[in-house]
Amino acid sequence: MRACLERIEERNADLNAFTQVFAEPALSHASDADARQGAGETRGPLDGVPVAIKDNICTISGLTTCGSRILEGYASPFDAGAIERLHRAGAIVIGKTNLDEFAMGSSCERSIHGPTRNPLDPDRVPGGSSGGSACAVGANMVPGALGSDTGGSIRQPASFCGITGYKPTYGLVSRWGLVAYASSLDQIGPLARSVDDCALLASVIMGFDDRDSTSARRDPPALDGTRAELSDLRFGVPLQARSAIEGTKAQEPFERALKHIRSAGATIVDVDIPELEHAVSAYYIVAPAEASSNLARFDGIRYGRRAALGPGEGLETLYARSRSEGFGDEVQRRIMLGTYVLSAGYYDAYYLSALRARRLLKNHLDEAFAARPGCDAILTPTTPGGAFPIGALLGDPLAMYAEDLFTVIANLAGLPAISLPAGECDDGGARMPQGIQLMTPAFADDRLLSISRAIEALGPP
């Protein structure tokens, strides 16, 4: 714990990964863990291990701000379900990490706490929205962290920071206490420096929670450390993914990774997932529509920021002013987009069409896994390239949204997915990490991690 706190003291002022650090209570809990273990006792598999928590996951310790002015100063009266499980396993929450406001972003630049910087190149972004968690792990401030993933917010920053990020199957980790962005897409998951560390964190936080209506009523898969034989595996690469990166900075590292995996005896086949080309469009209809509904609760009345009123001004003015002052530009943009696609006259044309595309995408992915001989996993780049310079895409929302091209697939279909380090790509003379993404069928998380261990064991391509 002291080593982590020293590293945070050394690097956080420049990188801005943590918004809050709980040094004294963390050291006290670490001392308790020392005493337990000295007496031959243990609280669980993470006893005494420091873990960082993304600041949209509720904790009794400190504040839960979601990086937003509207929740500035908000103290949660309860721990999220995933945090309760961490505590029972002996983990110690060392602090809260920065994020794009309400987890809406791909760069960790849109936060009231200021931008987080990439630990490998502070002039570049760490990815988003779980950029603070990824930076904290990538800079060796903590061995592991929790993030949330609605459209790639664990995997994309993991790729940019050269670490491993894992989004479990939708429903395996309780969303109770995760401040909602898009309820049918959000999922809590771990970031760490290895597949085994991600598996250990995930195995602790998984499990049914009757406080979450979307929690899966089934036993979580056993994430027990097995490693697949690559020579027995077939990997499907979507044709649309190949065409999307042709001629881009992502093409060379991805092809190099495929060659590396093929050299270990794996079979690489092309699969046709035509809806992949429309996945970002569908996502940016479904997610803002759900955000429009979820964020309606932040109205300046029940909790959060309340604007001042002048003489004669009423409730409608209070709502509008509180939300205008409290929400940043990107959050307002997504709320307005979501409200628009749900409005009369546009609901069928946009929202229902996006839901149909989502269903077709899931069907084609399921067919790719189920066909004979079928695919054991689907493989894509994690991102269209490496970490970009801070500020480069802030003025171009569509370019920022395109960063989610490969990651939104897993959220729309509810599949487990992981980003593994896969070497580097050349970005304007800078060598930055590039990740590969693996997906398996829903609830086949044990298969996903077993395959991931095998690829990790190959070493860098």
Does some domain include residue 318?
yes
Say how many C-beta atoms besides its own lie within 10 A of residue 40's C-beta.
6
| List 54, 76, 159, 419, catalytic entry | 54
Does some domain include residue 313?
yes
Does some domain include residue 295?
yes
| List 61, 133, 153, 174, catalytic entry | 153
| List 61, 129, 130, 174, catalytic entry | 129
Sequence-distant (≥ 6) Cβ neighbours of residue 396 within 8 angstroms:
none
Question: Cα–Cα distance between 428 and 430 in angstroms, integer?
Answer: 6
The closest of 73, 283, 249 to 159, measured between CA atoms, is 249
Does some domain include residue 307?
yes
**54 in catalytic set:** yes
Q: Domain range for residue 288? A: 281-347
Does some domain include residue 130?
no
Does some domain include residue 309?
yes
Strands (E), 135-181: 144-148, 164-167
Model's pTM, two decimal places? 0.96
Does some domain include residue 292?
yes
List the chain pLDDT tens, one digit each, 461 residues.
999 999 999 999 999 999 999 999 999 999 999 999 999 999 999 999 999 999 999 999 999 999 999 999 999 999 999 999 999 999 999 999 999 999 999 999 999 999 999 999 999 999 999 999 999 999 999 999 999 999 999 999 999 999 999 999 999 999 999 999 999 999 999 999 999 999 999 999 999 999 999 999 999 999 988 999 999 999 999 999 999 998 888 899 999 999 999 999 999 999 999 999 999 999 999 999 999 999 999 998 887 889 999 999 999 999 999 999 999 999 999 999 999 999 988 999 999 999 999 999 999 999 999 987 889 999 999 999 899 999 999 999 999 999 999 999 999 999 999 999 998 887 767 789 999 999 999 999 999 999 999 999 999 88
Please give the tally of structural domains in the chain. 1
- Helix, strand, coil share of the chain (percent; to 5): 40, 15, 40
Does some domain include residue 14?
no
Question: Cα–Cα distance between 437 and 288 in angstroms, integer?
Answer: 24
